[in-house]
Amino acid sequence: MIGIISILNTVFDDKRIMVAVVWVWMVVVLAVFTEMGLLRSDFVRFGPSPTTLYVGIVLDTWGKWGAVAGFTAVSSFMNDLAGESLEPFFLMVLRDHKTRYIPYSKSTSVLLNQGWSLYCSIMSVFGLYTYFAQADLLVIKMVVGLIVNLYSSWRYLRNKVHEPVKYMRYFQQTDEEEGNDAPWDEKVPSMCDETDALASSAEKSVQAIAPDPRPKANTGGGHGKSQAPTHSALRSVALQEV
């Protein structure tokens, strides 16, 4: 059981292995369905066919087929481009509790989310017919999707740096000192720890430049007594800075 979990962890964490696994699975599925007669079915056709239906329309002429093929290409481009732009924004900006700042007002953000959801609900009807109509329409959708994905991937990667060692530090779960697995949040310094460190550093800095806090002899009738900031006061200042 431990060996199976270890294999699953490796496949899950290494995206290269994950993509290779799903491609092997896809080849197996296609091989099985091909053996069952998939290539001889009406679904695997190219061009007009009296058996191809799209939202109730029979695509039996080149005019009808060309119109649907053009619509599939443009619709796939619009859907994929908008999805690559909006879905990460909704997921990692609007719905991520760690993100406090948003580029639009709250009402505008809600309207954007609602507008995209309504659009997806309506266009999903045409998407379903594309999947079940004919193989050539799927090929058009696939080619357009690859082009849009290539653009969006490079767009998101433009400010990224290839540092696999630093990347793995964020997902390291093994505590080498104790020899067991420790939750990641136990390894991250808490806010109080950081505040104490800031207060201690500030106290050392003040002690280096502040006058001697011990009472001095009164020369000239004034009060020659000064008081250095306490650790609690410095901690309060550090909390405000944090």
| Other beta carbons less than 10 A from residue 59's beta carbon | 25
Give the pLDDT band of residue 166 (cuts 50, 70, 90): confident
pLDDT(61) > 90: yes
Which residues, listed in sequence order, are joined to residue 8 by a DSSP beta bridge?
A: none
The DSSP result for 94-112, as a single string, is IS-TT----SS-HHHHHHH
Please compute the mean of the pLDDT values over residues 69-80 and round it to a whole number: 94
Pick from 78, 88, 74: nearest CA to 157 = 88
Reply yes or no on whether the pLDDT at 77 is more than 80: yes
The pTM (predicted TM-score) of the whole model is 0.64
Name the 3-class secondary structure at 118.
helix
Q: What pLDDT does residue 205 have?
A: 56
DSSP reduced 3-state for 204:
helix
Mean pLDDT of the chain: 79
**Residue 163 banded pLDDT, cuts 50, 70, 90:** confident
Most confident of the ranges 97-106, 183-192, 223-232: 97-106
pLDDT at residue number 144:
95
| CA-CA-CA-CA torsion sign (139, 141, 147, 149) | negative
